[in-house]
Structure 1
Amino acid sequence: MATLYDLLGVRDDASDEEIKRAYRRAAMKAHPDRNMGREASAHAQFQEIKEAYAILSDAAQRRVYDAVYAEEMGRLAREQEEAARVREAARQEAYARHVSVAMRFAGQGYNRDVVFGVLLGSDCELQLAGRIADGAVELHLSRQTRKSHTRRPGDSASNDAGQADAVVPPSAPESTRNGEPPPSGERPHSSFFSAIWHGMFGLHP
């Protein structure tokens, strides 16, 4: 918003002498006689400069103008701050909504591209959608890995025992498939159950 000080090209704390010098420069520059071909606009600008100087060169009028100007600027600043708070609150709400959607789809096992596409379909900005999709899938995989590492061996012992015949490969010795230990000196290839244990939990029994 242009002010009277802006019209004269001075700061709002300019001295009376600075205002006078600035008025002379601005008036000379905007005088219609110096602006051939655009006399009408130059005349309007010249009149504005004269009115600005008339107010700012009078101490009483300048005080009133400064008070009104300060109040108006304060009001505008408050309005801008409130608008900024509203925009930020809306942005955070939208971000939380996008993260929730991404976590839900990642938790259902969808890959990064699917999560990314869902976010774009939810009007999420392109780069933000990429970051949220990456984070959601990475967090889901991290949780799955942590769960698998923290499972106790006994939690699945009964299932392993009940499904032993199903998981032992046909090439394993007959005595192993029947649940009996192999003859002395005969071991299943690299300890089949040890391999299963390591593959599931990342640990050796």
Structure 2
Amino acid sequence: MATLYDTLGVPAHATDDEIKRAYRKAAMKWHPDRNHGAEDVARAAFQEIKDAYAILSDAGQREVYDTVYAEQMREWEAEHMRRQRTQAEREAVARAADEAAYAAMVSIAIRFADQGHNRDVLFGVLLGRQCEAQRAAQIADSVAALQAARRDEAHAAQKAQRASRTGKRAQTAEAGADEREPQEPAQETGAAPTASKRTAGQTEAQATPHDTPHSNRANHARRDESASDVHPASTLGNLWFQFLNGLKF
């Protein structure tokens, strides 16, 4: 909304001298004699400049103008705010209605897609429901793509489940095969220490090839003791034999 100050090109707090200088400059610029070929436009602009200067150059008229203009500006701003608020409310209502209509069309498309219909059928159904062609195509494409993604996800999940069941059956079969394997005889386990003892004895015998008579008697006594420890019946037999020999002497 242009003001008289805007017509002269000065701020609202301009002094009288600033208003006078601005008027002279604007009058020279828009004087009809200086605008050949555009006299009508220049004449209208020049008249506005004269009217603005006539009001602003008079202190009383300027004060009245400022008061009236301020009040008019307040009213204009209030009206402008009301219009903006009303327009915003209308836009909100229209947007809500549009979103509701869009959601309804999407719901219809999803319902038909769940029944196994393809994209072309969805598009035709939406057109039959008075849906705009561009929006119907957009909804049909989106719903068809969503349905295809869901089918792929379901197939992938089924494939993963089958693979998991196959792996569990394989593990169960391997566990059963391990349980059916024959175990090694226990005798072999006990034979190893005997062989070890026998080897240790041979090593000890080889380590002392030159035994003295005393050591032979000691070894003979140790063998008798070992034999008596291992075979109790032999020990009793030896004692009985010594007893008989004692009777002879």
The TM-score normalised by the length of structure 2 is 0.46
CA–CA separation in structure 1 for the residues paired with 2:22 and 2:122: 62
* Partner deviation per Cα, 1:173-196 (whole Å, 9 max, x = no partner): xxxxxxxxxxxxxxxxxxxxxxxx
Is the partner of 1:73 in helix, strand or coil? helix
2:66 maps to: 62
1:198 maps to: 158
* Identity among equivalent pairs (%): 41
Aligned pairs (5 A) from 1:1-205: 1-10=1-10, 13-16=12-15, 19-57=19-57, 58-109=62-113, 110-112=117-119, 115=122, 118=126, 122-123=131-132, 126=134, 132-138=139-145, 198=158, 203-204=161-162
* Partner deviation per Cα, 1:45-77 (whole Å, 9 max, x = no partner): 211122233344513322221221232133123
Q: Is there any run of 5+ residues in structure 1 with no aligned partner, and where? A: 150-196
Is the partner of 1:36 in helix, strand or coil? coil
Contact 1:103 1:137 in 2 (8 A): no
* Partner deviation per Cα, 1:118-177 (whole Å, 9 max, x = no partner): 3696237x4x6665445444555667788x69xxxxxxxxxxxxxxxxxxxxxxxxxxxx
What's the offset of the Cα at 1:97?
Answer: 0.4
Tell me: CA distance 1:61–1:34, structure 2 relative to 1, closer, same or farther (3 Å): same
* Amino acid across the alignment from 1:15: A
Q: What is the RMSD of the two structures over their aligned residues, measured on CA atoms?
A: 3.7
The TM-score normalised by the length of structure 1 is 0.54
* Amino acid across the alignment from 2:87: A
Aligned length: 152
Higher Cα Rg, which structure: 2
Q: Is there any run of 5+ residues in structure 2 with no aligned partner, and where? A: 166-249
Higher helix share: 2
Contact 1:55 1:62 in 2 (8 A): no
CA–CA separation in structure 1 for the residues paired with 2:85 and 2:10: 27
